[in-house]
Structure 1
Amino acid sequence: MTTPDTATHARQREMATEHLLFKLMEYVEDRHSGLLDFMEKSLDHLGDPATDATKDDEAVRQIARKMIIGARKQGVD
């Protein structure tokens, strides 16, 4: 078995983290309605930490919006 390179490992970690975050969001929203609304209201404070030409605060917010929309659609099975 080969050791994954840094980019592969980062992608795999990102996918695992995203999955667990979605499931946590769905679970908490199901039991304590309002979490997703609260998270959505916080997006104005979210930004891209980059300090170069790749900085794009709105792109980061859009990813977060899509995650919230996905959690609203998916719900708890």
Structure 2
Amino acid sequence: MAADPVTRTRQREIATEHLLFKLMEYVEQRQAGLLDFMEQSLDHLGDPATDDTKDDEAVRRIARAMIDSARKQGPA
């Protein structure tokens, strides 16, 4: 049974987030400094929306939380 577009988007987001975390952990373990580099880039991160949903800081909070989580998780 084919999933609806919202479900497929959620599933894709979960898979992408997992792979990104594993990549971050892998690189950080082998080349320390990636997470610091990523964290320093967050001032340039923003929400591309052009309507009332635009929230640059919300996007930055999500990115910070992902970086913090990768720091805490470490290699598994």
Regarding TM over 0.5, the answer is yes
Alpha-carbon distance between aligned partners in 1 of 2:9 and 2:60, rounded to the nearest angstrom: 21
Cα distance per residue 1:56-77 (max 9 Å; x no partner): 0000000000000000000002
Alpha-carbon distance between aligned partners in 2 of 1:20 and 1:5, rounded to the nearest angstrom: 23
Cα distance per residue 1:5-47 (max 9 Å; x no partner): 0000000000000000000000000000000000000000000
**1:20 aligned partner, one-letter code:** L
- Using the aligned pairs only, state the percent identity: 75
**2:71 aligned partner, one-letter code:** R
TM-score by length of 1: 0.98
Counterparts in 2 of 1:45-64, with a 5 A limit?
Answer: 45-64=44-63
TM-score by length of 2: 0.99
Match of 2:41 in 1: 42
Instruction: Report runs of 4+ in structure 1 exceeding 3 Å deviation.
Output: none
Count of paired positions: 76
